[in-house]
Amino acid sequence: MSQASPATPDAYDFGTIQNKWLPVWLRMDPFRADRLAGDAPDSEPDTRERRYLLDMFPYPSGDLHMGHGEAYAFGDLVARYWFQKGYNVLHPIGWDSFGLPAENAAIRRNAHPSEWTYANIETQAESFKRYGVSFDWSRRLHTSDPDYYRWTQWLFLRFYERGLAYRRASYVNWCPKDQTVLANEQVIAGNCERCGSPVTKRELTQWYFKITDYAQRLLDDMGPLEGRWPERVLTMQRNWIGRSEGAYVDFVIEGRDEPVTVFTTRPDTLYGATFFVVAPEAKLASEIVAPSQRAAFEAYLEQVKRETEIERLSTEREKTGVFLGVHAINPVNGERIPVWAADYVLADYGTGAIMAVPAHDQRDLDFARKFDIPVRVVVDTGEPDPAETGVATAGEGVHVNSSLIDGLGKIDGVRTMIEALEQRGVGKGAVTYRLRDWLISRQRFWGCPIPIVHCPSCGEVPVPDDQLPVELPDLRGADLSPKGTSPLAAVSDWVQVDCPKCGGEARRDTDTMDTFVDSSWYYLRYCSPGYDGGPFNPEDVQRWMPIDQYVGGVEHAILHLLYSRFFTKVLHDMGVVDFTEPFKALLNQGQVVNQGKAMSKSLGNGVDLSEQLGKYGVDAIRLTMVFAGPPEDDIDWADVSPSGSLKFIQRAWRLAGDVTSERGVDPATGDTALRKVTHRTIKEFTEHVESFKFNVGIARLMELTSTIRKAIDSGPGPADPAVREAVEALAVMLSVVTPYTAEDMWERLGFEPTVALAGWPSYDADLAAAESVTAVVQIAGKLRDKFDVSPDISEDELRQLALASEKVRNALGDREIRRLIVRAPKLVNIVPG
């Protein structure tokens, strides 16, 4: 099914309607923030209640795809609803336009990354306009514009001054294919997030943001987000931060003056420590290894460096390690235990060294069994001996073989042990986090340059604020292919600068920032686009932030959201914003899949958004996205019906042409039955939009459409004022989903554009009140109770009501229920056993 025949007054043709209204909207530009409805830009302050709706901004990888079609349909629905409600709405758009794909495309085509990037941005901008998204185009930004990244650099320098940006050498994730380092967050199951290659480790000097300073606040501040962010996102963030409570315990290592501290969550198992393990790549290992074991150790270290973190932490894997030829002294009983290096201990978690308690930790047990190390039970859990079964007992129990804590349970054991350690000065209670500092430097061209100069005499020197931005050199024609160092390093007249401090010869830092830095603050820039006194005007941010509703994909559940939360807290501590969380509420839309699988080239199940738009029109596609199911569920394009959506839209549109009464007639004189349906629908649709049950709301609009059709054809007729009232309300409600159709309906009803700002219809509570019906409950065919319920009560609710009834419970006594038949809204039939 495609388009209806060309424009006779009664033939709906989406192409004609789109071409008619798009230029009108572009001229009207109706969705500017801080502009009173319908007025020209106003010098008077706009005092209406403000709402900030933000869609995650796109990466310009080509034209918009089905996933964009879905996400922006939801975001736009909410924004348009707010516009209709009369709020002063901020709904901006921009592009996350630095990043690797542009660079890789440029390498393939021997072009500049900016050409590909900005061409794609234009394509997407046109597509957004055609898609009818209610953006405030005057606030558009691109993170790769110098007047944006100037402020990314400025923020970097503020972080630097606060000690939150620093450089250090360490083993980092390295993608051998993209030839760049990766943040922990960009390593997915041991592979590069971008290209899928297995990630290896390299020792490099890199820039970090000290997000670990904020670990506890990132956890604590999630409280108010509870119920307003998806639970699974909060859980993922909590797990990522990974708070662990336990203790630090100091062990003396024979032949070394400084004690070595371990982190343990089970200080209560100290008497069961039968060996000690250090991470092979931790400095400590090579410092303490006995001469006789050095060769074996170094061979082992080489092997470990080739492994991924996932492999290392796997419990399935055969344990490996080398004895370092030295012993540690257990601080509570003076016992000598052997020190090993083993890859299952990570260098950058806790302290990089552990006390191993094989009886109660599975990995320690696997290791002990492989290398014949004793296993000593110190918690009696009632389970069989781990040394025999090979299964560590990690559960609750009573401490044994543990002198001062014998007989205590876990909680008391932990507390008593920590007190004892603190008393003797050999340990203390501690909290650690799995969260690592954020590695932000990248050895790539198409990113924001790090505004630091390296001077042989002054060291690291920040580029002075008034010399920002440090602009990328024009690399047209240069070789961008990855070589393990930044392509910027090869541009010698860019690299060589005078030191801002001493004026001597110095070199620019040649790394660029992770693009997640760019996207950690863009939502602030939208509040005062073009502002050149700082990254944003604090007054404007004060007015608009925090964001009322953020909409985007769950793939950003950790990285982007955590980083943005971190940035906001730093800005709060700098005293420039007075809030600590950027996003009050979050909606994660599902994915658009096809035939049960993610769309992919190799599967050949891709669906092209622009092709769908060409076939069914913008409104039908938007409606299909919204009607498919709850927004957080995936949409399988094989299961939905854009042609069905198109048919519905046509039916709604025809209604507007059938209305024969004049604008302004008093609906109170109209047909009451229809008015009741109209007002009920307004009430329910409003509630469904507010609670993001968009699909259920659409079903109500479909029912209203059928009811109006009947009223016109076989009821009170097209001249009845209630018919006009119903169709006007329908047009305004539809405007949040199918803006083109709604605009055309509005015109047919005799109004001027734009329906988008017509104002949300209000309902009369009496008319909207749900009628009730009587439900009866029978037991074995005998009437036992009856009560009034809403005609649209669900089977579930009705069943609950019936089972909760006193009379029913009495009549049932202690008989079992064999069968329960529910016929909502009128009948529940219980067959006792």
623 binds Zn ion (CB under 5 A): no
Binding site for ligand ANZ (CB under 6 A): 244, 263-266, 269, 279, 345-346, 349-350, 352, 354-355, 357, 360-361
452 binds Zn ion (CB under 5 A): no
Task: Please tell me the distance from the alpha carbon of residue 704 to that of residue 342, in angstroms, as a whole number.
Answer: 69
Write down the least CB distance from residue 239 to ligand ANZ, Å.
10
Cβ-based nearer residue to ligand ANZ, 67 or 280: 280
Residue 74 has which token pair?
Answer: 């939801």
188 binds Zn ion (CB under 5 A): no
Task: Please tell me the distance from the alpha carbon of residue 585 to that of residue 783, in angstroms, as a whole number.
Answer: 48
Phi, psi of 319 (to 5 degrees): -75, 145
Partner whose footprint covers residue 402, from ligand ANZ, Zn ion, none (CB < 5 to 8 Å by kind): none
Contacts with Zn ion in 199-228 (CB under 5 A)?
Answer: none
Helix (H, G, I), strand (E, B) or coil at 780: coil
Which residue(s) pair with 208 in the sheet?
166, 439
Write down the least CB distance from residue 472 to Zn ion, Å.
23
Task: Please tell me the distance from the alpha carbon of residue 211 to that of residue 699, in angstroms, as a whole number.
Answer: 46
Partner whose footprint covers residue 401, from ligand ANZ, Zn ion, none (CB < 5 to 8 Å by kind): none
Name the residue with tokens 């603190």: 422
One residue of 458, 576, 773, 803 binding Zn ion per CB under 5 A: 458
Cβ-based nearer residue to ligand ANZ, 262 or 545: 262
820 binds Zn ion (CB under 5 A): no
Contact (Cβ atoms closer than 8 angstroms) between residue 359 and residue 375:
yes
Write down the least CB distance from residue 261 to ligand ANZ, Å.
11
Partner whose footprint covers residue 410, from Zn ion, ligand ANZ, none (CB < 5 to 8 Å by kind): none
CA distances from 213 to 163, 218, 436, 578 (A): 10, 10, 10, 19
* 518: CB partners within 8 A, 6+ apart: 96, 98, 143, 148, 149, 152, 447, 448
Helix (H, G, I), strand (E, B) or coil at 248: strand
Write down the least CB distance from residue 568 to ligand ANZ, Å.
27
Cβ-based nearer residue to ligand ANZ, 272 or 642: 272
Partner whose footprint covers residue 580, from Zn ion, ligand ANZ, none (CB < 5 to 8 Å by kind): none
Partner whose footprint covers residue 502, from Zn ion, ligand ANZ, none (CB < 5 to 8 Å by kind): Zn ion
Helix (H, G, I), strand (E, B) or coil at 284: helix
Q: Which stretch binds Zn ion (CB under 5 A): 128-136, 185-193, 455-463, 646-654?
A: 455-463
Among candidate residues 784, 653, 781, the one with its CA nearest the CA of residue 709: 653
Which residue(s) pair with 441 in the sheet?
513
Residues in binding contact with Zn ion, number by CB under 5 A: 7
455 binds Zn ion (CB under 5 A): yes
User: Using omega within 30 degrees of 0 as the cis cutoff, is the peptide bond preceding 546 cis?
Assistant: yes
Partner whose footprint covers residue 459, from Zn ion, ligand ANZ, none (CB < 5 to 8 Å by kind): none
Cβ-based nearer residue to ligand ANZ, 296 or 346: 346
500 binds Zn ion (CB under 5 A): no
Partner whose footprint covers residue 744, from ligand ANZ, Zn ion, none (CB < 5 to 8 Å by kind): none
Cβ-based nearer residue to ligand ANZ, 401 or 591: 401
Cβ-based nearer residue to ligand ANZ, 111 or 236: 236
464 binds Zn ion (CB under 5 A): no
Partner whose footprint covers residue 266, from ligand ANZ, Zn ion, none (CB < 5 to 8 Å by kind): ligand ANZ
Q: Which stretch binds Zn ion (CB under 5 A): 406-414, 457-465, 528-536, 609-617?
A: 457-465
Residue 390 has which token pair?
Answer: 């090979």
Cβ-based nearer residue to ligand ANZ, 276 or 297: 276
Residue 122 has which token pair?
Answer: 């234009």
Write down the least CB distance from residue 501 to Zn ion, Å.
4
- H-helix segments, 667-762: 672-690, 694-714, 721-734, 739-748
Partner whose footprint covers residue 820, from ligand ANZ, Zn ion, none (CB < 5 to 8 Å by kind): none
Type of residue at 183: A
CA distances from 188 to 184, 332, 438, 462 (A): 8, 41, 16, 34
Partner whose footprint covers residue 292, from Zn ion, ligand ANZ, none (CB < 5 to 8 Å by kind): none
320-342 CB burial, b ≥16 within 10 A, e <16: bbbbbbbbbbbbbeeeebbbbbb
- HSE, side-chain direction, 13 A CA sphere, residue 443: 22
Partner whose footprint covers residue 799, from Zn ion, ligand ANZ, none (CB < 5 to 8 Å by kind): none
Cβ-based nearer residue to Zn ion, 133 or 499: 499
Partner whose footprint covers residue 244, from Zn ion, ligand ANZ, none (CB < 5 to 8 Å by kind): ligand ANZ
501 binds Zn ion (CB under 5 A): yes
Write down the least CB distance from residue 291 to ligand ANZ, Å.
26
Write down the least CB distance from residue 455 to Zn ion, Å.
3
Contact (Cβ atoms closer than 8 angstroms) between residue 251 and residue 333:
no
One residue of 499, 527, 698, 811 binding Zn ion per CB under 5 A: 499
DSSP letters along 42-95, please? -SS---SPEEEEEEPPPP-SSS--HHHHHHHHHHHHHHHHHHHTT-EEE---EE
Write down the least CB distance from residue 150 to Zn ion, Å.
23
502 binds Zn ion (CB under 5 A): yes
Cβ-based nearer residue to ligand ANZ, 412 or 465: 412
Cβ-based nearer residue to ligand ANZ, 242 or 715: 242
Task: Please tell me the distance from the alpha carbon of residue 408 to that of residue 115, in angstroms, as a whole number.
Answer: 69
Residue 414 has which token pair?
Answer: 């932990």
Cβ-based nearer residue to ligand ANZ, 172 or 731: 172
Q: What angle do CA 200, 201, 207 make, to 5 degrees?
A: 125
Enumerate binding residues for Zn ion (CB under 5 A): 455, 457-458, 499, 501-502, 504
